[in-house]
Each structure stands twice: as C-alpha cells, then as structure tokens.
Amino acid sequence: MPSALLDQPLIVALLAILVIVLVVMVALRRRAQGTPDAEPAEPESLETVRFHLARRNGYDPADVDALVDKLAALPDTADGHREALVIVEDIRFHLAYRGGYDPGDVDAFVDRQAAHYRRLLG
C-alpha cells in the first residue's frame, strides 16, 4: 500500500502537465488557423490590412483586395454599415491554386469585420 500513496502525487503531477500541454496546443492551433482568442475592440484599418500568403491553395488576392476596397469605399453611416454587413456575410472567394492569401487570415478578418458592423448597428 505505501507505494500506491507515493504514486498519487506523481499521477496528479502528470495530469497537470497533460492539461497544460493541451491548453498550449489548442492556443497554438487557434493562432495557426487565425482564430482569435478574444475579439479586438476595433478591427484593423482597411487601409493597412495585410494577409499572409498561403503555402498552397489560398484565396484569390484579387477577390480579397476587391472586398477590402469595397468596404473602404462605403460611407461611415448606418446605411453604409448595413451594406457592409450584408457584403461580409455573403462574401465568397475563388481559390488561387498557387499561393493566394491564407484562408485562415482572410476568414478571421471577415469575421472581425462582421462583428464590428453588428456592434455598430446595435
């Protein structure tokens, strides 16, 4: 029986290490996928937004750049915000079979924009 008592702290320590490793792995996976851990208060500026290039199949840069330009051209009014929300909720991108923008980055950007316009519209 004494050896069983000595093993309990070891088991607890191993379980604690396992939990820490899992938490770190989930955070790293979210970062790699572009999934934010917490939504920023304001999305990045449309004039300075940049996306990583995909190693393989990514979103067609012309499609993504056209979206950013379209959003930047909309007026900063309730009507402009409504139109922007419709645009980002319905957007679809073509794939670029060589390169292109990283889909995780672009999807996270679109999600942040949608959340931003929803907040503005109340």
Distance CA 12, CA 16 (A): 6
CA 27, 94, 62, 77 torsion-angle sign: negative
- Note whether 112 and 55 are same-domain residues: yes
Q: What pLDDT score was predicted for residue 115?
A: 95
pTM listed for this prediction:
0.65
The pLDDT confidence band at residue 30, using thresholds 50, 70 and 90, is low
- Note whether 117 and 57 are same-domain residues: yes
Mean pLDDT in the chain?
85
Domain count, the chain: 2
Which of helix, strand or coil describes residue 53?
Answer: strand
Domain that holds residue 66: 39-121
For 37-54, the pLDDT digits (tens) are 555 556 778 889 999 999
Is residue 64 within 8 A of residue 93, CB to CB? The reply is yes
DSSP class per residue in 1-40: -HHHHHHHHHHHHHHHHHHHHHHHHHHHHHHHHT--SS--
Crossing angle for the helix pair 103-121 and 78-90, to the nearest 10 degrees: 150
- Note whether 23 and 43 are same-domain residues: no
